Structure 1
Amino acid sequence: MKKRELGRSGLEVSALGLGCMGMSEFYGSLDEDESIRTIHRAIEMGLTFLDTADMYGVGRNEELVGRAIKGRRDDVILATKFGNVRAADGTPLGINGRPEYVKQACDASLKRLGVDHIDLYYQHRVDPNTPIEETVGAMADLVQAGKVRFLGLSEASPRTIAKANDVHPIAALQTEYSLWSREVEDEILPLCRELGIGFVAYSPLGRGFLTGQIKSFDDLEESDYRRFSPRFQGDNFRKNLDLVERIHEIAKEKGCSSSQLALAWLLSRGEDIVPIPGTKRRSYLEENAGALDVTLSQDELRRIDEAAPLGAAAGFRYPEASMKVIDK
């Protein structure tokens, strides 16, 4: 398996990671046995960079990942997140970056995961009511205590990233990045490179849209949260299908799947970028891994850029309430 260093942090991870969120919530029906088999298959293949968070399934996802890696802790690089607080029934309770909460959340995650340390610990969303210096200061204390090895941020603004990195080196920024979400190319990606921060791209397949598997709104299960996503609704859905079709045509000529083309494009954007496509099925995991063998020519990259330029996707990437809590 190819490896990549996250920025200049010294943390080396598999060139593709595995997002585990959908194994416990958000994307329709669940099958924990198949999810665990998927994690085991990922480890066998060398896709050992596993991504979870304490809010996924209200802790259940960390527990699932913990069961899957039991006895295999040294084989994986484990990333989790704190800050998006939910009640036991899943009700959102806001964002918390207060120092005392950071330490409580870390201890709770360690217990659920069944491990004594976290390799990469992210602040999931920036708390507007707590100075980032205080939050990262508490995260740095966790490094000193040996509970965490490296620190990360998620969906942070350039100003927040710079201030956080002044307190303690930030190893990685995790933010949405794909052929239909290229906004980070303007300011965020250049800043990360200037500061030596790695970039972890979540939703690299546009929440499944870029796979070409979703043909109509009715393909989404009743419990699938994408039914509430602006890009999956009404005219936006139809316009975005056109974008996917353009990508599919290039992939067909290339002899790969649309998913593999989209991931290969991201991998080509720089050695400091690590996509973490999520799946709960071994078949999709194996398909995604095939992207590592896809090399794109300059002409193919040009055609992809023309097919999916910055701002090509119709609709916001989250519902209005979720967009409001993204650090700007």
Structure 2
Amino acid sequence: MQYHQLGPSDLHISEIAYGCMSLGNNDADNARLVHQAIAGGINFFDTADLYDHGRNETTLGKALQGKRKEVIIASKVGNQWREDGSGWDWNPRREYILTAVEESLRRLNTDYIDLYQLHGGTIEDPTDETISAFETLQQQGKIRYYGISSIRPNVIRAFADRSHIVSVMMQYSLLDRRPEESCFSLLEQQGIGVLVRGAVAKGLLVGKIPEAYLNYDAAAVARVAEAIQRIATPDRGPAATALRYVLQQSPVTSAVVGMRTSGQVADALSAVTAPPLTPAEILQLQQVLPVNKYDQHR
């Protein structure tokens, strides 16, 4: 496993991370998957208070008992569940963040979170108030570092310019190359780490029946999946090929992968030892479709 420093932090995280939203409802099954991932070298586990009404944090906390010092835990805040459970509302206010972290710490059964992330954001948010909450939590030792999870360039720019974020989590794959347009260069210049989610585009790049995705129709999606299949090899299957494309982009620190089965954990881990894509292979994949761009939130 390769480990990379996350932005200016002292966190060194595995290049394949575990996206815990994919975990199910059985604590024992979840623990087996988490332990398999740890045995394979994964040390970064990403969850959120939003997932399964907080139960995702709880099951991860149970799985990591006795292993806290071996791992790096990331969680997220900003989506507040309504009391009746009918949905959630966006709440980036300082008071809410300072309260929500206490519940996340309790569910995770830990006294600190390594990376606490704002789970979204708009340019109309009280950004300075949000930043002050994270800075306070950092000073209190309840979080070690903070970042954001956003695909909106205007929000990313605001935090990059006005805060001490160490990372941005964003969707990125061969079917969503929007970050290449402006965000990657900005974050690389400022030394901020990139955590990628959606590297296999909901499975569309690795065998799922093609369907429309963003601005691409099903036929276009199928062409990219076929291109991946063509350059896949026995020691670098389709999943590893899709992940290698993402991981070989210089601003990317880690790919956060959702894994529901032992086989999916093994597939994700195979990307670590898979041969890298050659420049010619990368160009071949990039030329299948016209690159997409951000239409909003620029």
Distance 1:271 1:164 in 2: 17
Please report how far the alpha carbon of residue 271 of structure 1 lies from its aligned counterpart in structure 2 after TM superposition: 5.9
3-state SS of 1:63 partner: helix
Give the structure 1 partner of residue 31 of structure 2.
36
Match of 1:58 among 53, 56, 61: 53
Distance 1:52 1:152 in 2: 13
Distance 2:237 2:289 in 1: 16
Distance 1:237 1:251 in 2: 21
Distance 1:286 1:308 in 2: 29
3-state SS of 2:92 partner: coil
Alignment of 1:88-127 (within 5 A): 90-127=85-122
Give the structure 2 partner of residue 231 of structure 1.
213
Deviations 1:150-206 (A, max 9, x none): 111111534433432444311100010111111011111111111110000011110
Q: Is the 8 A contact 1:18 1:279 kept in 2?
A: yes
Please report how far the alpha carbon of residue 34 of structure 1 lies from its aligned counterpart in structure 2 after TM superposition: 2.4
Runs (4 or more) in structure 1 with deviation over 6 Å come to: none
1:131 is aligned to 2:126 = yes
Q: Which moved more, 1:239-248 or 1:93-102?
A: 239-248
User: Please, which runs of 5 or more residues in structure 1 have no aligned partner?
Assistant: 25-29, 218-229, 317-322
- CA-based RMSD of the aligned residues comes to 2.5
Match of 1:49 among 44, 49, 63: 44
Match of 1:178 among 148, 173, 179: 173
Count of residue pairs the alignment pairs up:
297
Alignment of 1:164-313 (within 5 A): 164-212=159-207, 214-215=208-209, 231=213, 236-252=217-233, 255-270=235-250, 272-294=252-274, 295-311=276-292
Q: In the alignment, residue 20 of structure 1 is paired with which amino acid?
A: C
Please report how far the alpha carbon of residue 148 of structure 1 lies from its aligned counterpart in structure 2 after TM superposition: 0.2
Q: In the alignment, residue 278 of structure 2 is paired with which amino acid?
A: S
Q: In the alignment, residue 242 of structure 1 is paired with which amino acid?
A: R
3-state SS of 1:307 partner: coil
Please report how far the alpha carbon of residue 250 of structure 1 lies from its aligned counterpart in structure 2 after TM superposition: 1.5
Please report how far the alpha carbon of residue 117 of structure 1 lies from its aligned counterpart in structure 2 after TM superposition: 0.3
User: Please, which runs of 5 or more residues in structure 2 have no aligned partner?
Assistant: none
TM-score of the pair, normalised by structure 2: 0.91
Give the structure 2 partner of residue 9 of structure 1.
9
Deviations 1:228-274 (A, max 9, x none): xx539xx933442232122111214x652111000011111116431
Q: Is the 8 A contact 1:7 1:272 kept in 2?
A: no
Distance 1:238 1:180 in 2: 12
Please report how far the alpha carbon of residue 79 of structure 1 lies from its aligned counterpart in structure 2 after TM superposition: 0.3
Distance 2:16 2:99 in 1: 30
Q: In the alignment, residue 145 of structure 1 is paired with which amino acid?
A: Q
Please report how far the alpha carbon of residue 105 of structure 1 lies from its aligned counterpart in structure 2 after TM superposition: 1.0
